[in-house]
Chains A and B, each alone.
Chain A
Amino acid sequence: MVAAPAAVGLDLVVEQVSAGYGDRLVLRDVSLSVAAGEVVGVIGPNGSGKSTLIRVITRLLPARGGRVLLGGRPVERYGVAELARIVAVVPQGATLPEGFTGLEVALLGRTPHLRLLQTESRRDVAIARAALARCDALHLADQRVGEMAGGERQRLLVARALAQQPRLLLLDEPTAHLDLTHQAALCALVVERCREDGLAALFVLHDLTLAAQFCDRLVLLGEGRVRAEGAPDAVLQPERLAQTYGGPVSVLMHPRTGRPVVVPI
C-alpha cells in the first residue's frame, strides 16, 4: 500500500564531545561515527554516559565541547521538527498513555511531518500501519496500551520510531524489562528493519552478548570516555572489560554465530 520510505541512512559523526549535568562531566572527548547502513552498539557500565550520548545527539542536552554532525551538518542547525523527521529515538523505559491504541501510538510517529492544524491523512495511517506490520505488531492496532505486555509496548515504540521514517535510529536500552527471548527477538527485529531501509542505527545496550550478536561495531564507554571501538570480538576482550566494569569477566564463543558471549564470572 505504501512504498517503502526512500530512507537512506545518514552519517552520524560525534567529534570530541564533552557534556554533563551541573558540575558533573558525564562525557569526555567522546568521538564515534555511524555510517549509513551500519548498526553500532554503545556499551559500558552504569553511569558511563551511554544515555547522555543519545541526549546530546538529539540536542536534549547541549554539548560543552566538540560537535555532532548529521549528514555533515551540525545538529544545532536542525530545527526540532526537522530533526525528528531524520532521527527517531526509542527511549529507555518510555511510558505510553494506557488509553491509546496501538495504531494511535504508531500515528504519533507522524507528528514531525504534520503542521499544527493538519490531521493524519490516509497516507499517514497507511505508513503507521506499515510500521506496525514491520514490527509484528499489526494485531495490536486496535488494542489499548493498558492491555499490552512489556514486549508488545516496546515493539510499539519501535513502530512509532519507524513511522517517523527516520534516516538514523537511536535506541536507548530497548530491551530493558524484557525477558530473555524477547530481548533477542526485539534486537533481531530492529536490526533487520535497519538493514532493509539502509538506516544508520546507534544501539545503547546493557547486555554485551546481545550487542555482540547484533551490532557491526561496538563502542565501549567507561567513565565518559571511549575505552575501545571496533568489531565486537576486538572490543570484548576479557581484561579490558574487567578493567572497565571493575570485576572478573569471561568471554566465550557462541557455538552457532561464532560471536563473543560475555559472562560476568
Chain B
Amino acid sequence: MTAAPEEAPGVARALSFSHTGAVVLRPAVLPLAVAVLLLCAATALALLAGPVRVPPGAVGSILLARLTGIHLGTWPAEADQIVWQIRAPRVLLAGMVGATLATTGAAYQGVFRNPLAEPYLIGVAAGAGLGATIVLVSPLSGAWHGLSLVTPAAFLGAMAAVLVAVAVSRATRLTSGAGLVLAGVAVAAMGNALTSFLLTMHNTRLASVFAWLMGGFTASTWSRAGLLALYALPCLFILVMHARLLNVLLLDDEQARYLGVHVERVRLIVLVAASLAAAAAVSVSGLIGFVGLIVPHIARRIVGPDHRRLLPLVLVGGATLLILADLVARTAVAPSEMPVGIVTAFLGGPFFLYLLWRGRRVTW
C-alpha cells in the first residue's frame, strides 16, 4: 500500500514504467492513502468534538474497551454513553451515507454519461424519500420478519424517480446533461411536495418534516448503521465490481457493444445497485444533496476518469466529506444543531453553479 517517495508523481497514473521497462498496472495508491488518512483524521475529530468534553485519552480507551474488551483506566459511565452510544454510531452512519451518496453519484454519472447526474439532482433521493414516507405514515410501517419495509419502499420510489427522469430527458432530446437534471428537478419537486404533504398530514410537528427534507444524523443508532450496511455494502461492492465496464460505457452504447459489452444489462445492474444504495441512505438520513456531485468531480480531477481508480477514492472521500459536514452541522450552532443537508447545500450549490458555468468543458 505504500509508495516509495520517488515514485510518488507517477502513482496517479494507472500505468507507468518500472525501471526494468516492464509495464505494470498500478492503482492510484498515493491519492487513496491521503484520502484514508483524511478519513481517519475526520473520524477522530468527530469522535472528540461535542458539547460534552471527553478527553482524547478517554475516547481512545472507551473505543478500545468496546472493540477489543481491553480496559485501560477508568472513565465515567456518562462518557461511555456519549462516545459509544451517541458519537460513534453517528460518525459511522455519516461516513457510510457519505460513501454511498458519493459512489452512487459517480456510478450515475458514468452510466448516464452525464457529469451532473447525482442522487439528489436527478430526483432519486426525493423518490426514495417519498417511498419511505408512504410506508412511515401507513399501517405498513411495522417490520416484516424483523426487516422494515421502509428501505424497500424507498428503493421503489428511487427507481420510479430515475425511470421517469430518464424517460422525460430522452423525450426532450437535450444532448447536454441538462435534460436529465431538469427532469430530475421536476421529479424531485413533485416527490418532495408529496412527502411534505404526507408528513404534515400525519405529524403536527413541522420541525420534523423540515429535518427529514434537509437530512441529518440526529437520531443515529447502531441498529440504523447496521440497517444501512445491510443494503448499501453489497450494492457498493457491485458498483466497484463493475468499474471497468463503467469505463467502457463512457464511450457510447454502440462502441461498448462493439467491444462485447451487454450495454443494457450492465446499465440495469448499475442503476439498480446505485438506486438501492441511495434509497437505503435516504431512509436512514433523509435528503442530503450534492455529496454525489462534489466528491466524484474532485476525485476525477485527481485520478482521472478510470472508475477503477475513481470509485475507491470517491468512497473514502464521500465518507470524509459527510463526517466533516455533520461535524459542522452539530457544532457550528451549538448547543443547537442544523440539518447536515444545509451544510452540503452550502458547499454543493456554488460547486454546481461552477460546473454549469464551465459548461461542456467537463473532462472525463
Contact = CB atoms under 8 A, between A and B. Distances in A.
A103 B260 contact: no
A91 B254 contact: yes
A111 B260 contact: yes
A48 interface: no
A84 interface: yes
B14 A104 contact: yes
A195 B140 CA distance: 69
Using C-beta atoms within 8 Å of the partner chain, give the interface range for chain A: 35 or more
B7 interface: no
Given A98-B364, A99-B300, A119-B244, A111 B255 contact: no
A58 B259 contact: no
B250 interface: yes
Interface residues of B, number: 31
B57 to A, nearest CB: 44
A122 B260 contact: no
B23 A94 contact: no
Given A97-B305, A119-B308, A108 B260 contact: no
Contacts of B306: 100, 104
Given A117-B241, A119-B308, A89 B258 contact: yes
B247 interface: yes
Contact of A126 (B23, B245, B258, B304): B23
B24 interface: yes
A32 interface: no
Could you say which of B23, B242, B254, B258 has the most chain A C-beta atoms within 10 Å of its C-beta?
B258
Nearest to A59: B257
B328 interface: no
Nearest to A117: B241
Interface in B138-187: none
B251 interface: yes
B245 A84 contact: no
Contacts of A125: 15, 23, 25
Contact of A84 (B13, B14, B252, B260): B260
Contacts of A91: 254-255, 258
A186 B241 CA distance: 37
Interface string A244-262: 0000000000000000000
Interface string B301-345: 000111010000000000000000000000000000000000000
A101 B22 CA distance: 18
B248 interface: yes
Interface string A94-122: 11111111011000110110101101101
Contact of A60 (B14, B254, B300): B254
A7 to B, nearest CB: 17
A146 interface: yes
A217 interface: no
B260 A83 contact: yes
Nearest to A110: B259
Contact of A80 (B251, B257, B363): B257
A80 B252 contact: no
B66 interface: no
In order of increasing CB-CB distance, the 3 nearest A-B pairs are A84-B260, A112-B260, A81-B260
29 contacts: A58-B257, A60-B254, A80-B257, A80-B260, A82-B260, A84-B258, A84-B260, A88-B258, A91-B254, A91-B255, A95-B252, A97-B250, A97-B305, A98-B364, A100-B306, A101-B13, A103-B15, A104-B14, A104-B247, A108-B259, A111-B245, A111-B259, A111-B261, A112-B259, A114-B244, A119-B25, A119-B308, A125-B15, A125-B23
Given A83-B260, A98-B363, 4 more contacts: A94-B251, A100-B305, A108-B251, A122-B25
Interface of A: 58, 60, 80-85, 88-89, 91, 94-101, 103-104, 108-109, 111-112, 114, 116-117, 119-120, 122, 125-126, 129, 142, 146, 164
